[in-house]
Amino acid sequence: MNSWVAIIAASAAVFSWKYLGHLVPRRFLESKFLQKLAGFLTIALLSGLVGVQTFSGKSPSTGAHEVVFDARFLALIVAMVLLKLKAPFLVIVIAAAATAALLRLAF
């Protein structure tokens, strides 16, 4: 399948969901349960994305996906420590990126 067909199909699907969201009655959107659920889903999806992007890699010999612990893992640790210390977001991002870059440069 051509990648442009997949991109157009995904764009149409996302647009249709966004359009259908306007048709949902207001009483459903103002529900405390749904607001809490939306907050939890956002956290869960972001955590899953961070986990997959941090710990997945391809094996050079077989090409299969595997769990890896490299500079991204240590950069995530640095970001978590700075987040716990309530550092500004920009400082967290720069420190984590610098950690990953320096570790990749050293090894």
pLDDT digits (tens, 9 = 90+) for 28-46: 888 999 999 999 999 999 9
pLDDT value at position 53?
A: 92
Q: Are residues 82 and 98 in the same domain?
A: yes
64 in the same domain as 27: yes
Tell me: do 38 and 81 sit in the same domain: no
Residue 5 lies in domain: 1-68
- Taken as a whole, the chain contains a residue count of 107
pTM of the predicted protein model: 0.68
Q: What is the pLDDT of residue 63?
A: 82
Q: Which residue has the tokens 């359009």?
A: 19
Low-confidence ranges of the chain (pLDDT < 50): none
Tell whether 63 and 75 lie within a shared domain: no
pLDDT at position 1, please?
63
- Residues 17, 55 share a domain: yes
Angle at 94 between CA 71 and CA 84, to 5 degrees: 85
**Are 8 and 42 members of one domain?**
yes
Phi-psi region of 88 (alpha: psi -120 to 50; beta: other; left: phi over 0): beta
Q: Are residues 58 and 10 in the same domain?
A: yes
